[in-house]
């Protein structure tokens, strides 16, 4: 009879016990007796290797609730029908908000540093579900509109197939608004500017890159706004024009003639060779 093989996994398994004799009903608060038991599994953060939680929970039956009397032990660190604990989501949201990482890199960081491997689409869902409360958003929008300097800086960033449109105030350093979407066109940009206009943002000057998304949208929402390129793209256009001019001038110079044949050159060939070397030195100087 062959010896049994035991598989050894590089995983830490932690067992938790949340199976109680009774528990208050989360709907009405009535102390409910234990009816049955169950086991839940979840993935947690681990510094050395993946961590799997095996949690024993109780199944309770509320004597007062009629429609849905049965419930399980609620876990504050693990939502219903979820596989990852809450602090996995928290690490991803903090990486995006505090460390300014795109979601694809935040997902890689979870895999590299904490051995948590959600899909990129799951990372997007986590970040969208972590939206602040409406009162917090309204207070932030009022603060941004009251302290707006009059200069609007807009740019878009692409994260794979998704796009992030962001508007900032470069003088105060505040982010005015941002939008996540699966496409980026002029209609999306115009709707984004209209939402800024509804918040009370009235820019005197707008700074963007050389994309065709912005000129028409800016004039459609703020007809009197002054539009200019950012310093990086403005300098880039100048450098590109200078490089093209130098290249055209270098190509306009006469090309050097072919070298003479083997043997002792004649006086005419020596003169032509010196002229060729002079022309080549001019071309090399222009290249430098």
Residue 116: what pLDDT?
94
**182 pLDDT more than 90:** no
Residue 177: what pLDDT?
87
Task: Note if the pTM is more than 0.85.
Answer: no
Residue 256: what pLDDT?
59
Task: Check: CB of residue 107 under 8 Å from CB of residue 141.
Answer: no
- Confidence band for 180, pLDDT divided at 50, 70 and 90: confident
- Confidence band for 8, pLDDT divided at 50, 70 and 90: low
**260 pLDDT more than 60:** no
Residue 147: what pLDDT?
87
**257 pLDDT more than 70:** no
- Give the separation between CA 259 and CA 276, rounded to whole angstroms: 9
Average pLDDT of the chain? 86
For the stretch 42-83, pLDDT in tens is: 999 999 899 999 999 999 999 998 888 899 999 999 988 899
| Mean pLDDT in residue range 1-27 | 83
Render the chain in DSSP notation, one character per residue: -PPPP----S-EEEEEEE--SEEE-TTT--EEEEEEEEEEEEEE--SSS-EEEEEEEEEEE-SS-SSS-EEEPPBTTB-TT-SB-HHHHHHHHHHHHTS---HHHHHHHHHHHH-----HHHHHHHHHHTPPPHHHHHHHHHHHHHT--SEEEEEEEEETTEEEEEEEETTTTEEEEEEEES---HHHHHHHHHHHHHTT---SEEEE-S-TTSHHHHHHH-TT-EEEE-HHHHHHHHHHHHHHHHHHHHHHSPPPPPPPPSS---HHHHHHHHHHHHHHHHHHHHH-
Q: Tell me how far the alpha carbon of residue 68 is from its chain's centroid.
A: 41
Residue 5: what pLDDT?
64
- Give the separation between CA 109 and CA 91, rounded to whole angstroms: 9
């Amino acid at each position: 009879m062959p010896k049994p093989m035991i598989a050894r996994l590089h995983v830490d398994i932690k067992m938790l016990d949340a199976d109680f004799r009774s528990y208050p009903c989360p709907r009405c608060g009535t102390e409910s007796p234990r009816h049955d038991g169950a086991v839940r599994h979840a993935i947690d953060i681990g510094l050395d290797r993946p961590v799997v939680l095996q949690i024993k929970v109780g199944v309770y039956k509320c004597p007062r609730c009629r429609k849905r009397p049965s419930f399980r032990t609620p876990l504050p660190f693990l939502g219903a029908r979820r596989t990852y604990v809450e602090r996995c989501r928290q690490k991803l949201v903090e990486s995006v908000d505090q460390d300014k990482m795109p979601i694809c890199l935040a997902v890689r960081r979870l895999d590299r540093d904490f051995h948590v491997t959600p899909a990129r689409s799951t990372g997007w869902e986590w970040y969208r579900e972590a939206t602040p409360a409406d009162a917090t958003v309204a207070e932030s929008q009022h603060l941004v509109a009251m302290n707006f300097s009059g200069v609007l800086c807009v740019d878009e960033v692409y994260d794979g197939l998704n796009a992030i449109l962001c508007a900032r105030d470069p003088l105060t350093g505040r982010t005015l608004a941002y939008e996540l979407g699966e496409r980026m066109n002029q209609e999306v940009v115009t709707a984004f500017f209209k939402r800024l206009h509804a918040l009370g943002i009235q820019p005197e000057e707008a700074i963007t890159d050389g994309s065709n998304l912005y000129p028409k949208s800016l004039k459609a929402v703020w007809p009197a706004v002054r539009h200019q390129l950012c310093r990086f793209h403005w300098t880039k256009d100048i450098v590109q024009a200078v490089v093209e001019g130098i290249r055209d001038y270098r190509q306009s110079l006469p090309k050097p003639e072919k070298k003479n044949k083997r043997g002792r050159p004649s006086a005419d060939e020596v003169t032509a060779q010196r002229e060729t070397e002079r022309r080549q030195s001019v071309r090399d100087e222009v290249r430098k």
